[in-house]
Amino acid sequence: MPVGLPISGNTILFALVGDPVRQAMLPTLFNPMLAEQGVDAVMLPVHAPQDRFDEVMRGLQAIGNVAGIAVTVPHKSSALAYADEITPAAEAIGAINALRRNPDGTWTGDNFDGRGFVAGLAASDIDPAGLTVTLVGTGGAGSALAVALLDAGVGTLRLYDRDTTKATEVAARVEQRSHGTVRVTDTLNLTGADLVINATPLGMHVDDPLPFDPTGLEPHAVVADIIMKPDQTPVMKRARELGYMVHPGLHMLTNQLDCYRKFFSNTLSAVGSSENQV
Amino acid sequence: MPVGLPISGNTILFALVGDPVRQAMLPTLFNPMLAEQGVDAVMLPVHAPQDRFDEVMRGLQAIGNVAGIAVTVPHKSSALAYADEITPAAEAIGAINALRRNPDGTWTGDNFDGRGFVAGLAASDIDPAGLTVTLVGTGGAGSALAVALLDAGVGTLRLYDRDTTKATEVAARVEQRSHGTVRVTDTLNLTGADLVINATPLGMHVDDPLPFDPTGLEPHAVVADIIMKPDQTPVMKRARELGYMVHPGLHMLTNQLDCYRKFFSNTLSAVGSSENQV
């Protein structure tokens, strides 16, 4: 059972903000990393109910020994308001999942979902360069994946969302970032896709309909999901039954741990100096 | 090295709010207790700078999985504003050092400093009943000690503060609680005292003057301090050199751990039910 360093008055805090937050894996995965590095810091689950998100964020940023804030569903877009500056990738995505306190007291935001997803593909020997990808769902996570997939050189990126306006907006934000082709489709187009990704929440609840039917995909096609719980979603089970390779959601998180670690590592000094010691 | 349970998305949070908070011992002492009881909860140091105290408190109370808040210097009086109800003892003290979330979402405040101090005396076989006590300093901690000492049956309680108005106010609040005599003294009166207590901050910094000179006390007199760092304050060193029994500040904290534990134990269900699980 992994355990952390003992918590004392000196311990630095990182918060993961979500609603709900119980199911979130980041504290479980990140705390052993901190302990292993001998950093006197902890990553805490922070349940920020939607209607109290602003109070929670203002409170966390006012706490002197909070060094960083990770953000999960449904707060990734709202969290933008708490960043003084964001990276160009986060700008294109329109959402952040990480905020860090700088030595001057300002906060920088970034988004690692897409980079984590692409790194997860690489770890499974899938190179997205030149591929035809159908991305289903263009919310916060979908936008992040779109940006990272274009940055990784996909050939054609098809964006599909039940809400076509949303998909069109995401396309407008991301398409100047690459030479790949971005297409918004009114109907789901899986024809010739090398990689099909579920970036909708469909599959978290047992009664959810499938986000798409993988029947008839190319034999070499990969079906990926970004849902972490359950670790095998219904669409993945169906794809597996049909003989397709599947790529579960947990890869996106495990492969962004290192992004979080690097992003947060240079904030520790910012916090260490914030308190006037008696 | 004491370690806690691993922190996950399910972990319940307790916060200790102070400015500064680095020197605070509560997280170090309380977390092993939680771990020993198998409670999936942690006590965190929360640095709430004076000018951001309200933001921090509003934020903590908005967080769904914060079950309780412990409060230390200088926030014990300001924290009253965040309690929907307080105990009669806390009312008499005019300050709280603990806040708990109730199942209906309201917050109850209490103050364990005095009870911890008296329990610490008992653990050192000192029964305050009938004693003549000089209490030096009538701020938040001093008020708490005054209430608990009267509840424990002291014979005469002399209150001294550089600011006599403050001592007079405290006397007015506490004296209807007991049959003991409460006297506010304009000048420090150590004559015939069985117990003299430093409840001022004097002794935390190396350059501080002594809060009082223990020379000439009765041979059986005890000199107590409530300062925890350093563990031996200059006035205690001086008293020891003169042959008096001394009673260090850490006793007050270690003997209120059990109060905190009981006070917080019935809040865990209040928090467990606050989050709508997906």
Q: What are phi and psi of B71, to 5 degrees?
A: -130, 130
Q: What is the mean pLDDT of residues A96-112?
A: 96
Establish how many alpha carbons lie within 13 A of residue A116's alpha carbon, considering only the half-sphere containing its beta carbon: 26
ipTM above 0.85, yes or no: yes
Q: Is B62 on the interface with A (CB under 8 A)?
A: yes
Amino acid at B110: D
Residues 169-228 (A) with a CB less than 8 A from some CB of B: 204-205
Q: Whole-angstrom Cα distance, residue A159 to residue B208?
A: 69
What type of residue is B31? N
Report the C-alpha gap between B144 and B138 in whole angstroms. 9
Query: Per-residue pLDDT averaged across A251-265, rounded?
Result: 94
If we measure between CA atoms, which residue out of B247, B265, B266 comes closest to residue B257? Answer: B265
Do residue A43 and residue B7 have CB atoms under 8 angstroms apart? Answer: yes
Per-residue pLDDT for B54 more than 70?
yes
- Kindly report the three-state secondary structure assignment for every residue of A237-269: HHHHHCCCEEECCHHHHHCCHHHHHHHHHCCHH
User: Could you read off the pLDDT of B81-136 as tens digits, one per residue?
Assistant: 999 999 999 999 999 999 999 999 999 999 999 999 999 999 999 999 999 999 99
Distance separating alpha carbons of residues B7 and B41, to the nearest angstrom? 8
The Cα A197–Cα A125 span in angstroms is 16
Mutate to test the interface with B, among A13, A26, A44 (most CBs of B within 10 A): A44
Residues of B with catalytic roles: 76
Task: Name the residue with tokens 């004392």.
Answer: A8
Q: Is A155 on the interface with B (CB under 8 A)?
A: no
Domains defined along chain A, listed by start: 12-112+257-272 (3.40.50.10860), 114-253 (3.40.50.720)
- What distance in Å separates the CA atoms of residue A173 and residue B176, rounded to the nearest whole number? 70
The answer to whether B41 and B27 have CB atoms below 8 angstroms apart is no
pTM given for the model: 0.90
Q: Does B123 touch chain A (CB under 8 A)?
A: no
Amino acid at B133: V
Considering only CB atoms, B45 lies closest to which of A11, A58, A276, namely A11
Average pLDDT of span B228-245? 96
User: If you measure CA to CA, which chain A residue comes closest to B204?
Assistant: A278
Residues B147, B157: Cα–Cα separation, whole Å: 10
The answer to whether the beta carbons of residues B71 and B99 sit under 8 Å apart is yes
Q: Does B64 touch chain A (CB under 8 A)?
A: yes
Cβ(A198)–Cβ(A212) below 8 Å: yes
Does the CA dihedral B86-B90-B93-B98 come out positive or negative? negative
